[in-house]
Structure 1
């Protein structure tokens, strides 16, 4: 009877092993995996909904005797049973509160300097989002409706908070498998990306040494989050929540007068919200909801989305290199997915395997942070079309 729960507890233990022993995105996978174990323990009720016991009795007022005869009853709702702990934490996911707060923390930790210094890297961040829309079409082909296809396709952006935010808005019943798939593929960036990068580039291209980026002034870094928020929100209002919180966090960091707010957003608040978001998302992965053919399709489409996003960034970087006066190493195109800063580190690592003296990290950070903006914009487009 409980075989599905036993399987899910095993999956949770496997994710814990990958997070603890292999270091695969432990800050996210540990709470997600533990929430998965908790919710599948028999009779734990940790994710149960609140219940109200209705005691029905006739209205005893003499003046309401006729009403009682007509079947009108008074209701005693004093006997209430509260829901499980994770049910209440999950409200932060369901109401779309936790993901934007995560974005604010990400913004407070992000340096947009490489993107400002090399605006062309914005194109690489945009190209990596091609996997989202390609997989959207694939999900439609596999029988998913537009809302589900949008929620699945966003996995290709390698952005867990955005995946959760869009799924809660469009297809909340798929939140569990979509969140686990998104964070699993984020954790597997160092495994999934390098083979694709090497297959699409030559040894000569991987050895390209890029010119040093120009210095970016403090004024530019302050103006950037303000202008991006205004422009994106005017063009695409549905993206204002994610973009606004991302840029607010970055403004805290760059303006120089809100150090306490910046530190809180990037440390204490970020850590608290990550715990709540991770454990509550994991708690949605019950055996009955998770072990379905639909879930396997989501995981398959998710890896396709992520792979195509990686490949699209590399291919566009190769094309740009043909027409650019300054050399562009195509490896940085793979960082266009928004797994910050892991994807940029992978680009740098693969480049140094070819040439130990080639440092691509700062160049790859441009497309990487552009990918964060790109995934939020992509989510806004899908939300405006199908929300």
Structure 2
């Protein structure tokens, strides 16, 4: 105390104290986001806010877009990196909470858990009652392979093109699963070239187009169908027995797994979840899978995928091409389903017509595509209810996209 009093007013010491304070304030400012922000960071924050706005204002996939939008904002808070230019921050920082949670995306174990919940929530009755509509779910997967060829033409490596192609299935979990296997930045091709890390752009593109189903699909449907076709009424589906519902996931698992064993992590969990639901003796497990589990995984997956889209990683020419290919693939998938439904209708008995609009539901966006078809059916004829019919190709599209992913994986691994 006495020493401090003696030194009070000493110009040299006062100067040192002032200098330290200035240096401290300068260091503080250099570590703030204001000092490190770039135009890319601001653009990504705006994209995150747009996702949240679309989810709240227009109810576009809010369970997905709000976590993803928030994750984008979190991932684009700028940080000081001048000490070590190789420093990994946020989601890419080894050992951080976000990095640990992101391992579920990189290692591909979030998607199977989501498929478990989807299986526990899905009623396959409409597909069981009219199995011929399963063909429409397969027809819509043409978007996957068309996009794969398009990505190859644009110069992407085969594994990258395969991961991009799955966007055409409009199935976010499947897109993440396949990109984690083929385009996670750790694969090395035969020529020694390293495959790029495209998980973030692919996942964001897939979920974006899933959310925009009500915007993208109606114009395509209207373009490819006549008003008369849109008014076609289909016979009500027959009642399905409990035994049929129990047998379906078992038969479906065996058939699809033998066709595409590499898709077993997804299809196995999908049919397992459905068996939990339809057996009616495991209601507690089915309830957990369809509520608490899938909700938890959706939160973690959405936030971590969003946070992986840091400006320097996401704002690239590759990302722009991926979004363009994703849009094209979704259009091709929708058109493929509608056109094939028209062809099926030409050969269908006159007493069992098919409304071509339900072909658009062959993409995997469950149940949004089916709702689009239902709404369009009611717009053209207030008495024409197509939801249950559209659910058949819709749920078969989930199976079809997983099988498609397995086929690509078996060729490109």
TM-score norm. by structure 2 comes to 0.85
Q: Cα offset for 1:100?
A: 0.4
Partner in structure 2 of residue 59 of structure 1 = none
Gaps of 5+ in 2: 1-35, 81-88, 185-196
Shift, 1:84, TM fit: 2.2
Q: In 2, distance between residues paired with 1:313 and 1:48?
A: 40
> Paired residue for 1:210, among 211, 215, 234?
234
Cα deviations by residue, 1:128-167 (Å, 9 ceiling, x for unpaired): 0001101110111111111111111101111000000001
The superposition leaves residues 233-291 of structure 1 with CA deviations (integer Å, 9 ceiling, x where unpaired) of: 12221011110000011001100100000100000001000001111111110101111
* 1:238 lines up with 2:274 in the alignment: no
Matches within 5 A, 1:11-22: 11-22=47-58
Provide the residue aligned with 2:217 in structure 1: 193
Partner residue, 1:167: 179
How far the C-alpha of 1:35 sits from its partner, in A, is 0.9
In terms of Rg, which structure is larger? 2
Aligned partners of 2:139 and 2:343: how far apart in 1?
Answer: 12
Determine which of 228, 239, 243 is the counterpart of 2:252. 228
- Alpha-carbon distance between aligned partners in 2 of 1:96 and 1:291, rounded to the nearest angstrom: 24
The aligned counterpart of 2:3 is: none
Shift of 1:303: 0.6
Task: Decide which of 54, 60, 73 is 1:37's aligned counterpart.
Answer: 73
1:370 matched to 2:396? The reply is: yes
Distance of 1:229 and 1:159 partners within structure 2: 19
> What is the alpha-carbon distance in structure 1 between the residues aligned to residue 199 and residue 357 of structure 2?
32
Cα separation, 1, equivalents of 2:134 and 2:91: 41
Report the structure, 1 or 2, having the larger strand content: 1
Within the alignment, does 1:150 sit opposite 2:159 as a pair?
A: no
1:294 to 318, 334, 344: 318
Residue in 2 that maps onto 1:108:
120
Deviations 1:3-39 (A, max 9, x none): 2112111111111111111211110111111111111
CA distance in 1, matches of 2:98, 2:66: 16
How large is the RMSD of aligned CA atoms in angstroms? 1.0
Name the CA distance, whole Å, in 2 between partners of 1:164 and 1:386.
16
Shift of 1:43: 2.3
CA distance in 1, matches of 2:131, 2:92: 49
Structure 1 residues 79-113: Cα deviation after superposition (integer angstroms, max 9, x where no partner)? xxxx3221010011111110000001001110101
CA distance in 1, matches of 2:78, 2:96: 14
Match of 1:323 in 2: 347
Gaps of 5+ in 1: 51-82
The aligned residue for residue 248 of structure 1 is 272
Q: TM-score, normalized by length of structure 1?
A: 0.90
In structure 2, the partner of 1:310 is 334
Runs (4+) of structure 1 exceeding 2 A deviation are 43-46
Does 2:129 correspond to 1:117? yes
Give me the whole-angstrom Cα distance separating, in 1, the residues matched to 2:363 and 2:78.
39
